[in-house]
Structure 1
């Protein structure tokens, strides 16, 4: 019977917290670098907890097939870890997923299912609908990262405590890009339990309507949804403020960050870093942590090919608003 080894044996967790002094010389901005995890992203934490939970509930998973909607990172991690369990992993992706991630998915052993828009849905909603249908009509197991409590627990048990320890309990603001909501809800829940008044800020791409607004197209780089996920509906009360960052600003920030710091960050991490920099400038006495879910190499084709104004981020300002959850909380 296959089984999972300890997280440290896979290189999951205990990632670094690095100051972004050149990107943000006016404040105390730190980047939580998640590209050091297995598969190069924060989703290794989620995948490990999901598979560990399935093993606990179902026993031997060998020969079973998992299917999940993914922008790449979770699928990569599920496929890498699933190999130890003898699990087949089907990954529902869409045409906006970075080519680098598709290559990594295939290399990890994930089987790619390309899903196109249908019925007026955005890409991610179309992927979820496809996966739900496959799970209902076949023997595939759908972990459902959008509703699975262990996805939140992964960050409540690991990422949140790491941030607390790495800042010696002095973190004031944490900024997290939001998709499923598992990362921000897990981190926020842990920090709430520490007794310190930490401001939790969510970031979504313009076009995503997790926090409301007008729907529109956006890149499938790990953030965004056509409304709050079930996880967010249950636990989103930990989020104090949110901001929306357009894809072109996030990509320009990827380039600026790489030019000023000795490492690169992915598109969602750059969006969070932009909002984090604004907060650090406004509150130079506060310690601000922005989560970089993965590295720039996962999106090199997109970052290098899309034309954006080089100075577009210089004076960019983002409205920070409290969530006005149109669908309410606690009902799913």
Structure 2
């Protein structure tokens, strides 16, 4: 029986869960590692779910009407997801981006017709910078809809309703650990909350960048794991409201170089060209798999996006 999809939004979600058998063999691992390939969402990342969840809820509440302007502060992927959904639903978009973001992402946003404003590192390094910037951009766009990925409950909720259930369905409940990175925390919070409701003993693990992999006034040009944020030892009040730390059992620190090498291993062993956020997650999963207590267990890893969005940031690998 044939099926014709009505629009972009019907393609969001139901991404495949793939066993990384060659990675397991390469590193002689005793756990089974499954990757949730989120770059197979229609605009290329896990943030397509977030974008559709936020816009869908705003439409249900009557907050949006055709032609409205949507805006947010984003590291790129959420902006791309929002821009794509907005195009499909008849809205305009404007995004505020860190000035170190990859040119690839900026070009994608411009293809969707989005208005772009870059934010200088100096502003980001000020005390309580995120809150100050959000207040500023809200004041600059008083009649527009702020999608608010860092505070909008629709963000984790869409992962509670889709990402978590998909992992549970596809593994038939045979999953022991979930590994993800944190941008806003929506994925790990929503999916983690669902999985723990089904299986309380499941462990939820976050891969975060080391301090050396995070730009700071002392190290403004730090090589970053793009779109991935620290969740430990951070300034009070800076964690996104959408991140539920009570769901998380463990945090594993990963350097940018470790994330890049792990992403490269996934490309060369499994054929999936992924970004460094995926690299950080698989590095953490490999570390977990090397622990004796995890022998024979199943580890699900979220691969947020494709490496194609970061090629301009990297030197050609050896």
Q: Which residue of 2 aligns with 1:170?
A: 174
Deviation at 1:271, TM superposition (A): 0.4
Residue 299 (str. 1) matches residue 296 (str. 2): no
Over aligned residue pairs, what C-alpha RMSD do you find? 2.6
Residue 222 (str. 1) matches residue 195 (str. 2): no
Q: Distance in 2 between matches of 1:218 and 1:93?
A: 17
Deviation at 1:147, TM superposition (A): 1.1
Equivalent residue for 1:247, pick from 250, 256, 272: 256
Q: Distance in 2 between matches of 1:72 and 1:88?
A: 16
Structure 2: gaps of 5 or more residues: none
Structure 1: gaps of 5 or more residues: 311-332
Q: Distance in 1 between matches of 2:285 and 2:126?
A: 28
Q: Distance in 1 between matches of 2:282 and 2:227?
A: 15
Distance 1:265 1:122, change over 3 A: farther
Q: Distance in 1 between matches of 2:179 and 2:275?
A: 15
Residues 71, 220 of structure 1: 8 Å contact kept: no
Q: How do 1:47-86 and structure 2 match up within 5 A?
A: 47-86=51-90
Deviation at 1:281, TM superposition (A): 2.5
Deviation at 1:59, TM superposition (A): 4.7
Q: Given the two structures, how large is their TM-score scaled by the length of structure 2?
A: 0.85
Equivalent residue for 2:138, pick from 132, 135, 139: 135
Moved over 6 A (4+): 5-8
- What's the secondary structure of 1:15's corresponding residue? coil
Q: How do 1:1-332 and structure 2 match up within 5 A?
A: 10-25=10-25, 26=29, 27-119=31-123, 121=125, 126=129, 129-138=132-141, 139-207=143-211, 217=222, 219=224, 221-224=226-229, 227-232=238-243, 235-282=244-291, 283-305=294-316
Q: Distance in 2 between matches of 1:119 and 1:76?
A: 23
Q: Given the two structures, how large is their TM-score scaled by the length of structure 1?
A: 0.82
Aligned length: 297
Deviation at 1:261, TM superposition (A): 1.0
- What's the secondary structure of 1:146's corresponding residue? coil
